[in-house]
Amino acid sequence: MTQQQFEMLLPLAETWAAEQECIILRTGVPLTESQIADARQVGVTHPDRVRLLQVTEIPVPVHPALAAAAAQTRLISPGTIGLTLRYGIFIRADCWGQRRLVIHELVHTSQYERLDGISAFLRQYLLECITPPGYPNGPMEREAITTAARLCACYFHAATSCAAANVTTFAGLSGTILNQRVARAGLTRRK
């Protein structure tokens, strides 16, 4: 993608993001008490403004150029399970209630706050997505991945995207359960 194409797409992305945020703020649910505590921990200044909206699929922009860019950068794909538009967070229904995913998205909310709005966030975040190493290896995406992993005290840090983070959560969980069983078995044997 050229700089010119990027500058052409950015205002379209901003408009789309603002529209989606409005929809989520109107129809989503506020954070629970424990989610508010998580939001504070990752640096969200206004957790009370956040709304989560359950969707069967993360919506894709209607504008053809924007939809193409979303697919090209792999930002929104059939594997996407969460998407944050400042205070509005889409969560795919089959991942609803996953703490690690919500924390990941809340880190993005804190980044929107830090950069003071949708426009500045999108400029930096999307630039990281189209500049090598690209999504999901840009600094902002990495911050969300590593913060969520740290807060969930997960030993599996290999997540490379929101979608992969989901898979890894389950892999990490079964790995942890397995390790506990092994530890317990070891303990029994020693007795």
The tokens of 10 are what?
A: 């950015």
> Which residues, 90 to 109, sit near Zn ion by CB under 5 A?
none
Q: Are strands 51-55 and 29-30 parallel, antiparallel or unpaired?
A: antiparallel
Residue 147 vs 172, nearer CB to Zn ion:
147
How many Å apart are CA 144 and CA 74, to the nearest integer? 17
Query: Which range touches Zn ion (CB under 5 A), out of 22-30, 112-120, 135-143, 170-178?
Result: 135-143
Residue 13 vs 162, nearer CB to Zn ion:
162
Q: Tell the smallest beta-carbon distance from residue 125 to Zn ion (Å).
A: 9
Q: Tell the smallest beta-carbon distance from residue 117 to Zn ion (Å).
A: 18
Residue 157 vs 176, nearer CB to Zn ion:
157
Asked if 51 and 88 touch (Cβ cutoff 8 Å), the reply is yes
> Which residues, 143 to 172, sit near Zn ion by CB under 5 A?
144, 162
Residue ranges of alpha helices (H) inside 28-98 are: 33-41, 64-72
Q: Binders of Zn ion: how many residues, by CB under 5 A?
A: 3
Q: What is the largest CA-CA distance in the chain?
A: 70
Kindly tell me the burial class for residue 103, based on how many C-beta atoms sit within 10 Å of its own C-beta (0-12, 13-18, 19 or more). buried
Q: Tell the smallest beta-carbon distance from residue 8 to Zn ion (Å).
A: 24
Chain residues in the site for Zn ion (CB under 5 A): 141, 144, 162
